[in-house]
Amino acid sequence: MVGLTAPRPKTAPTRWEGPRALYDEMEHMVSRLWEEGPDALFGGRHVPSLDIAETDAAVEVKVDLPGVKAKEIDIQLNGNMLTVSGQRTFEREEKGKTLHYVERRQGTFSRTVSLPCPVEEDEVVAEYRDGVLVITLPKTEAAKAKHIAVKT
């Protein structure tokens, strides 16, 4: 598909031009995807997957960061906003190789999430093992669930 279509101007059509215009636009998008990779259409941002779980005592955040070195991870806590950012790089030796697929993303990443409750900022612990970052954020006393006895 590479080279089958000429680059189109990046302006939106001002009027409905019928099925042919729709076909041309779809072909242009597919061509860009084929030539430039997913970054051409989806902005090139790497957004790591994460899970947030809550217990009576803490909030636990797990972030998938395969291939990222621990020293390249930055964790920031600002109020109830947690930001995990960094960079994923690959060392490639491409001499004598024909690359058929290059799907693994590299470059900078950042993920910011809102925590469900206040946490003790001075007691946060982060561990990184097997490509998974686990951040344990102990809840403040005010955020912990209170057990109330029922009188009979």
Q: Which domains does the chain have, with CATH numbers?
A: 1-44 (no CATH), 50-143 (2.60.40.790)
Cα-based angle 48, 51, 52 (whole degrees, multiple of 5):
130
pLDDT at 65: 93
pTM to 2 decimal places = 0.65
Question: How many beta carbons lie within 10 A of that of residue 20, not counting itself?
Answer: 8
Average pLDDT of adjacent 10-residue blocks, the chain of 152 residues: 50 60 73 54 67 95 93 94 89 74 78 93 96 96 86 91
As a whole number of angstroms, the distance between CA 112 and CA 82 comes to: 6
Strand 50-54 to strand 58-64: parallel, antiparallel, or no bridges (unpaired)? antiparallel
pLDDT at 12: 54
Q: What is the DSSP letter of 119?
A: B
pLDDT at 22: 74
Question: 52: alpha, beta or left, given left = phi > 0 and alpha = psi -120 to 50?
Answer: beta
pLDDT at 23: 75
pLDDT at 32: 58
pLDDT at 144: 83
Closest CA to 140 of 110, 113, 119: 119
As a whole number of angstroms, the distance between CA 59 and CA 81 comes to: 13
